[in-house]
Amino acid sequence: MKQMEMLAMILAGGRGSRLKSLTSKIAKPAVSFGGRYRIIDFPLSNCANSGLDVVGVLTQYEPVFLSSYVSQGRYWGLDSRDSGVYAIAPREKADAELDVYKGTADAITQNIDFIDAYNPEYLLVLSGDHIYKMNYAKMLAYHKEHKSDATIAVIGVPMKEASRFGIMNADENDKIYEFQEKPEHPKSNLASMGIYIFTWKILRKLLLADAKNEESSHDFGKDIIPALMNAGRNVYAYRFKGYWKDVGTIDSLWEANMDLLDHSSELNLSDYSWRIYSEDPTDLPQYIGPDAEIDTAYITQGCRVDGKVVNSVLFTNAHVAEGAVVKDTVLMPGAKVGEGAKVTRALVANDVVIGKGAKIGSANSPEILLVDQDVKGVE
Amino acid sequence: MPRALGIVTPSGNNMKVHGMDFYRPISAFSFLGRYRIVDFPVSNMSNSDIEHIQVYVSQNPRSLAEHLGTGRTYNINSKRGRLQLLFNQDSKVNEIYNTDIRAFADNIDQIELASEPYVIISPGYMIFKEDYNDLLREHVASGADVTLLYHKVDNADKSFRNCRTIGLNRQKGIKSIGWNDGAIPEANIFMDTYVMTKELFLKLIRKAQKISSVYRLVDIINEENDELDIRGLSHKGYFNAITDFKSYYDANIEMLDFDKAKDLFTDEWPIYTVTTDSCPVRYAKGSKVKNSVVANGCIVEGTVENSIIGRGVEIRKGASVKNCVILGHAKIGEGAKLEHQVVDKWAKIINVKKLIATADNPGYIKRGDTL
């Protein structure tokens, strides 16, 4: 095997409990998004498009479905000779009991053997929770150009929201001198995107030291990045411009889906040169019936529309029956809206059936209505 | 259960789809926005647990070769199974030599080497669903030498031109094989589908070659009818044949009838095709879409009615597409009005604002043309 330049590890163990029942059976990275995708298709497609070959996916919460999904490396073309996607859950070892990953850094530390087997020069650490398109090869070029030891992708956020993020304070050359986790009084608006490139040899030493430190929370942001700076290592911010969203709540998940309706949105999934890859369903193309009305919508394969769809996103196999009106709504895979039903400003979960004539949601609700149970029809 | 080698044959040289077949064989034609005709026989065989499939190509192999690949898309095991693309050698000399027998003869070692005792031969220009396990079981149980699949139709006077018909006696034995001359509506259209032992198949190939260099398999079967026990088996369910331009247009438009589509496409019998990872369709404000099938990757800003829209098609503001079959990646520019057209892949309708034809005589826009 050729010397590997960069290996990717995706942190995909989180539950995403603010997504309520959507993550009661599956991990957040496996949640459906954008009609035909799952959230983890974004980092995996970015890896494939950036020319990476091997991706480790670190699972923990509800790993069964997520593991079986990411194991299909062919979905992203990550299945050639030296390529693969490997789901890795916490494990029992000869010298250690079965234990959970104690932090983001610990998840990497516990799998140093996996990384060593590929002997990469650089390690890319990603989160499996975000919607964005990014060329990691460009970030690696930046890392090399700056003789950086750790490079952190950052995005400018509105100053008033900065206290929700991990904030990087950098000098005029974008060299980071301070990291603040969710600061009350942020000094800058450069938020960490949870995307790191490390020179592997340096990180490896630091991780082993951190593992022995009982004071440490074994977290990249809180422990590893500060330790690198304390050791006088070069830590640089890599400025990203473009669409990036943490779809951590029902409202933000709904909103990110709605962003797809806007042709001027930075999230353009129709760019053929940077496609987001996903599983390949065998369903028919979408059928738009003789009495259908569609005004501003994002609709995918397997859908059937006989009613009215306004400003909405329909996922694989969603159906809208005659006389039904679906407005400002996300219908997740297999959701069915019965004849004459009205759904407004809602996110309807997978396979939920809205009965005939039912009316749910309201145009001026402060929050998006999550519909995760079948709704009885009105006869 | 005995095993069979699956063979997908090209259309005969009497079948011409003017314009479209210049670029690819009928088996590689786009169907219903995202499929190709060859997806039907290959998916049927794969779903019937046939692990070794040979697809014969007589012309322009590029699009089929790219589409079929290793067969992984079709659920064929990449180690145990095999999807072969086979070519015939001298089709350039004169088209009349371009027969299925010639194709088989040119690759006869590939047929001899196959370990399966039976062959199931099915065409790459017909659309139907068939469980070849059932077909093989019935063939073996009947004790016949050859079983032919046919479909009883009541529109042979209007459709299925250039197809063969079969006459049956009371015991479902084949009385005769003839041409559909369109004289009467009721006919048993021969589905170009055969079951027999590999041994008999090889014998027939050799015999046909000795009799005539332009014989097709159907000709030698017809000639051997007195010597062999040849029987017909009736096919039920959706059936169509692409034998000319009009039948191609009609077969696509017919799929707008959702009940017909549901008969052909069921969850238990998936029709596989190659993914292009196209994103969902974006319908802009002001778009009007009715009674249409739209494949992924499209951008719709204008009006679409009674049409089949292929992957990655753009229909811009004020454009109107009615009763059309638009193939992948075509662009219909602002304000263009199209009725009863087949627009081939990558074509752009930008300068011409009106293309109107009729259902009886639909128009055709060439691949990659800019109008």
pLDDT tens per residue, range B169-182: 888 889 989 999 89
Q: Do B282 and A261 touch (CB under 8 A)?
A: yes
Question: Which residues on A lie below 8 Å from B275 (Cβ)?
Answer: 280
Residue A338's Cβ-count burial label (10 Å; 0-12, 13-18, 19+) is: buried
Size of interface A-B (CB pairs under 8 A): 103
Contact B258 A275 (CB under 8 A): no
Q: Chain A: give the shortest CA distance to residue B278, in Å.
A: 7
Q: B294 and A286 in contact by Cβ < 8 A?
A: yes
pLDDT at B94 over 70: no
The pLDDT of residue B92 is 61
pLDDT digits (tens, 9 = 90+) for A2-35: 679 999 999 999 888 999 999 999 999 999 999 9
Please check the confidence at residue A1 and state whether its pLDDT lies above 70.
Answer: no
Which of chain B's residues have a Cβ under 8 Å away from the Cβ of A275? 277-279
The residues on B that touch A, with CB distances below 8 Å, are 32-34, 72-73, 258, 261, 265, 270-272, 275, 277-297, 299, 304, 312
β-strand partners of A367: none
Q: Average pLDDT in the B64-81 region?
A: 88
Nearest CA in chain B to A269: B279
Instruction: Judge whether A112 and A207 are in contact, CB under 8 Å.
Output: yes
Burial label, B268 (beta-carbon count in 10 A; 0-12, 13-18, 19+): exposed
Q: Residue range B251-265: average pLDDT? A: 94
Mean pLDDT over the full length of chain B: 92
Cβ–Cβ below 8 Å for A275 and B277: yes
Give the pLDDT band (50/70/90) at residue B58. Answer: confident
Query: Of B291, B342, B344, B288, which is closest to residue B317 (Cα–Cα)?
Result: B288
Cβ atoms of residues A334 and B267 within 8 Å: no
CB contact under 8 A, B277 and A276: yes
* pLDDT above 80 (res B88): no
Does residue A113 carry a pLDDT above 70? yes
What is the DSSP code (8-state) at residue B213? T
Judge: A285–B293 Cβ closer than 8 Å, yes or no: yes
Which residue, among A46, A49, A287, would best test binding to B if mutated, counting the most B CBs under 10 Å from its CB? A287
Cβ contact, residue pair A35, B279, below 8 Å: yes
Label the pairing between strands B174-179 and B164-168.
antiparallel
pLDDT in the model for residue A99: 85
Tokens of A353: 């059936």
Model pLDDT, residue B93 = 60
Q: Which H or E element spans position B43?
A: helix B39-47
Q: What is the mean pLDDT of residues B75-99?
A: 79
Q: What is the mean pLDDT of the segment spanning B273-286? A: 94
> Which residue from A269, A285, A291 is facing B279, i.e. has the nearest CB?
A269
ipTM reported for the complex, 2 dp: 0.93
pLDDT, position B213: 81
Beta bridge partners of B300: B283, B315
The residues near B371 (Cβ < 8 Å, ≥ 6 apart) are: B347, B348, B349, B350, B351, B352, B355, B365
Distance from CA of B358 to the nearest CA of A (A): 21
Closest-CA residue in chain A for B284?
A296
DSSP state for residue A223 in the 8-state scheme:
I
Whether residue A277 and residue B277 make contact (CB cut-off 8 A), yes or no, is: yes
pLDDT confidence bin for B201, thresholds 50/70/90: very high
Percentage above 70 pLDDT, chain B: 98
Chain B residues within 8 A of A293 when measuring between CB atoms: 288
Give SS3 for B271. Answer: coil
Q: Are B283 and B297 in contact (CB under 8 A)?
A: no
Q: Measured between beta carbons, which residues in chain A are less than 8 angstroms from residue B279?
A: 34-36, 269-270, 275-276
Flag if A286 and B293 touch (Cβ within 8 Å): yes
Q: How far is A197 from chain B (nearest CA, A)?
A: 28
* Beta strand pairing call for B35-36 and A32-33: unpaired
Minimal Cβ distance to B290: which of A276, A288, A299: A288
Nearest to A290 among B284, B290, B294 (CB): B290
Q: Which helix (H) or strand (E) holds A109?
A: helix A104-109
**pLDDT of B1 strictly over 80:** no
Whether the per-residue pLDDT at B91 is higher than 70: the answer is no
CA pair distance B138, A10, nearest whole angstrom:
53
What's the CA gap between A91 and B255, in Å, rounded?
Answer: 52
* SS3 category, B333: coil
Residues B34/B296, Cβ–Cβ less than 8 Å: yes
- What domains can you pick out in chain B, each with its CATH number? 4-264 (3.90.550.10), 282-365 (2.160.10.10)
User: From CA A12, how far away is CA A30, in angstroms rounded?
Assistant: 9
Q: Inform me whether the pLDDT recorded for B156 exceeds 60.
A: yes
State pTM to two decimals.
0.94
Contact assignment for B279 to A278 by CB distance below 8 Å = no
Do A301 and B283 lie within an 8 Å CB cutoff? no
Across residues B242-263, what is the average pLDDT? 94
Q: Half-sphere exposure of A245 toward its Cβ, with a 13 Å CA cutoff? A: 22
What are the structure tokens assigned to B258, written together?
A: 């959702």
* DSSP 8-state code for residue B89: S
Q: Which two tokens stand for residue B144?
A: 């016949």
Within a 10 A sphere around the Cβ of A278, how many other Cβ atoms?
25
Residues B248 and B242 sit within 8 Å (Cβ to Cβ): yes
- What would the mean pLDDT of A188-201 be, rounded to a whole number? 96
- Cβ count near A118 (within 10 Å): 17
pLDDT in tens, A322-374: 999 999 999 999 999 999 999 999 999 999 999 999 999 999 999 999 999 99
Stretch B104-132: mean pLDDT: 95
How far apart (Å, rounded) are the C-alpha atoms in residues A286 and A198? Answer: 44
In this predicted model, what pLDDT tens digit does every residue of A281-331 receive, in sequence order? 999 999 999 999 999 999 999 999 999 999 999 999 999 999 999 999 999
Interface residues on A facing B, Cβ-Cβ cutoff 8 A: 34-36, 74, 260-261, 263, 269-270, 272, 275-278, 280, 282, 284-301, 304, 313-314
